[in-house]
Structure 1
Amino acid sequence: MDKVRIGLVGYGIGGRAFHRPFLLDAAGVDLVGVVARSPAKHEQLATDLPGVTVHDSLGDLIAAGVDAVVVTTPPSTRRELVLQAIAAGVAVVADKPFAPDPATARAIRQAAADADVVVTPFHNRRWDTDLVTLRSVLDAGRVGTPLRFWSRFDLVERHGIATGIGGGVLSDIGSHLVDQAVSLFGPIDRVSCTLDVRDARSLGLDQDGPIDAGFTLAATHVSGVESVLTSNKAGWLGARQLRLDGVDGTYEATSTDVQAQAAVAGASPADDRSTWGVEPSSGTLTTESGTVDVPSAQSSYTDYYERFARAVRGLGPVPVPVDDAVHVVEVLDAARRSAASGETVTVPAP
């Protein structure tokens, strides 16, 4: 397969830590350009990606020749950039949140369908090592029919709460936790949600007014599985925990978010693929027979981009279907309405 020429639009912490190392590591991918405007970003790119052309605009990048773009800019600018790429016939990875509201998500999906262009959300956390390990336990039938799922992801990261359109922790971490639950147990039928709403200035953010610093979302899947998803960035203790109850057993794990921690620290899977993406501790599976350790699987976000490259060449499905992206946005919208009303809200059918 000819390598897919990909351009990266935006070079903040997401572009640098969560896209660059995995684009460089992915077979079938050639990172050929980056869109960045500030002089500081140009200097950083000269060090990080020597020889890769830096462009001032998406239009310039497309004119230089690309098969696909990864749009990592804030949600307030992302819609127009994604639609611009689609109109040019260029495949798109849209960072999360895929869209700030359901209407925008549906408009992007329709534009992609009309233009017959590949579009997929950057829900890379389907490839989180702890989730891949849990999925292997589930797929092997080791807990039997799944009943209840808990997912907690707390970060000591007040400064990392995104502001503006599409900001807040529900849109940020919530996009991933909802998508993970959907990938495991299928679409969500109804939700009940509470938000930890804080004054943005009190969190040290450059914004006036309230912002959600965390959430607890209870979801009922069409399959009957109940999921409880929770995250907070305003506390003082980080935690990543998963638990799955089934009729035959319970799987439980505490993890370190090993890939993200390594990527933010500047590491890359290309440094040592044999050790990349393995959690240092094991999960446990408890059944009628007792408790056994479940060693960590190995995973890499690189797999996301290798799947994307094959999809662009028509050799396989996208890593995450755009219908799932729209559904996640619908779930998050229902969660906000639930938090405002104090009632359980039905999610539109996918």
Structure 2
Amino acid sequence: MAELGVAVVGFGLAGEVFHAPLIAAQERMRVAAVVTSSAERAERARAAYPGVRVVDTVEALFAEPDGIDLAVIATPNSTHAALAIQALDAGLPVVVDKPFALTADEGLEVIAAAEAAGLALSVFQNRRWDSDFLTLRRLIEAGELGEVRRFESRFERWRPVSKGSWREVGEATDGAGILYDLGSHLVDQALNLFGPAVEVYCELDCRRTEVRADDDAFIALTHDSGVRSHLWMSAVTPRLGPRMRVLGSESGYLTFGLDPQEDALRAGRRPDDGKPWGTVDPENWGSLGTPDDTHPVPSEAGDYPAFYAQMAAALLDDAPVPVDPNDAVETLQVLEEARRSAAGE
């Protein structure tokens, strides 16, 4: 069986916790190289992936790309577009962590570079494989809700004091802040389910004194399909709302709590450890119905491994990439419009 050598560029939270374990669990991929300037992270990479090539700069990697079939850009947001283009110039297909770029125009430049090079390009919108999202898609496709009228979706945390990471204390102009961190997921899910947005409204706030970028946001979308999406993202929510409330003409779907895959990855698990992956216990299933008739709905298992399985198929079998980068550009256009709305423009 053909095996793809994958270079993980950046070995912070995204690279070490999300990308590398999912790549290593994919039978047609291996973690062949890691780029990190941190000696501590380099040692962890060598321990986790014996035989991995570790370099401290992307220039060193791209100067000698032998044995590398795919580059994964898992660096701070402000570097995504430039590094993706560098990887493409080196002859490598690319996966870019979300957000794809800082602006839609930057994203279009990366797409143009991939098309000119004839190389595959995708964006890691892993929340398309969340348990609740997959369950909702199943219910919609089965007609269980009737005509969907309103989609309410939240990623909320209670973190009254920031952890000091660049995502929280960096500048919004560098891609820090909750709008780009969690809004990238929420908007992508809404557009993926209900189509293009024709109206965007946003409230954007910075609540904590030590934080320079937004940490509390609300977006309202009106989709061309007529569905209205209300999306909340916050680091300062002392009482968490439902993860999703979806209202249709026949019934509604309500679910609380987050997909279990992130916690599993943060705990050091891998999808190939022989234990059930992405499953939700029955007591945490969502419910479907009306005030007079409500019943629990079995949750689909979350499936982050599907992203890299589909990426392997794209490179080895000429299948479509798992996420069309043009979708990510559309998400960036909404986020840019959201920021303009919040500024009163």
TM-score of the aligned structures, taking structure 2 as reference length: 0.92
Is 1:228 matched with 2:238?
A: no
Aligned counterpart, 2:286 = 283
* Identical positions, percent: 38
Question: Partner of 1:35 in structure 2?
Answer: 35
- Spell out the pairing of 1:14-29 with structure 2 (5 A cutoff): 14-29=14-29
Alignment of 1:139-154 (within 5 A): 139-154=141-156
| 1:65 CA displacement | 2.5
In structure 2, the partner of 1:179 is 188
| Structure 2 gaps, min length 5 | none
C-alpha distance in 2, partners of 1:305/1:24?
Answer: 10
Deviations 1:181-207 (A, max 9, x none): 1111112222000012245xx23x5xx
Preserved CA contact (<8 Å) 1:240 1:257: no
Equivalent-residue separation in structure 1 for 2:322 and 2:129 (angstroms): 10
What is the one-letter code of the residue matched to 1:125? R
| Segment of structure 1 superposing worse, 286-295 or 40-49 | 286-295
CA distance in 2, matches of 1:73, 1:237: 32
118, 140, 144: which one aligns with 1:138: 140
CA offset at residue 56 of structure 1?
2.3
Output the amino acid matched with 1:71: I
Aligned: 1:296 with 2:305: no
Alignment deviations for residues 280-337 of structure 1 (CA, whole Å, 9 cap, x no partner): 2111110487112101111221100000111122431111101101000100000000
Cα deviation, residue 112, structure 1: 1.3
Instruction: State yes or no: 1:248 paired with 2:250.
Output: yes
1:307 counterpart = 2:310 = yes
Encode CA deviations 1:2-33: one digit per residue, 9 max, x unaligned.
22221100000111111111111113212211
Runs of 4+ more than 6 Å apart: none
Q: Which amino acid aligns with 2:96?
A: A
Question: Do structure 1's residue 333 and structure 2's residue 330 form an aligned pair?
Answer: no
1:212 match: secondary structure: coil
For 1:8, the equivalent position in structure 2 comes to 8
For structure 1, list consecutive stretches of 5 or more residues without a partner in the other structure.
344-350
Counterpart of 1:12, as a letter, is G
1:56 aligns with 2:56: yes
Match of 1:269, SS state, is coil
Per the TM alignment, residue 236 of structure 1 is displaced from its structure 2 partner at its CA by 3.8
Would you say the 8 A contact 2:8–2:31 is kept in 1?
yes
Aligned pair count reads 334
Shift in Å at residue 237 of structure 1?
Answer: 4.7
> Could you tell me how far apart the structure 2 residues matched to 1:265 and 1:240 are?
24
Distance (whole Å) between structure 2 residues aligned to residue 57 and residue 66 of structure 1: 15
Cα deviations by residue, 1:51-91 (Å, 9 ceiling, x for unpaired)? 21112222433423311110001122222211011112211
How many angstroms apart in 1 are the aligned matches of 2:44 and 2:240? Answer: 29
**Counterpart amino acid of residue 147 in structure 2:** T
* Deviation by residue 1:131-150 (Cα, 9 ceiling, x = unmatched): 11111111111001211100
> Partner residue of 2:82?
80
Q: Are 2:288 and 2:294, in contact at CA under 8 Å, matched by a contact in 1? A: yes
Contact 2:204/2:214, CA 8 A, preserved across alignment: yes
Q: Distance in 2 between matches of 1:16 and 1:170?
A: 23
Q: How many angstroms apart in 1 are the aligned matches of 2:239 and 2:9?
A: 33
- Contact 2:218–2:231 (CA under 8 A) maintained in structure 1: yes
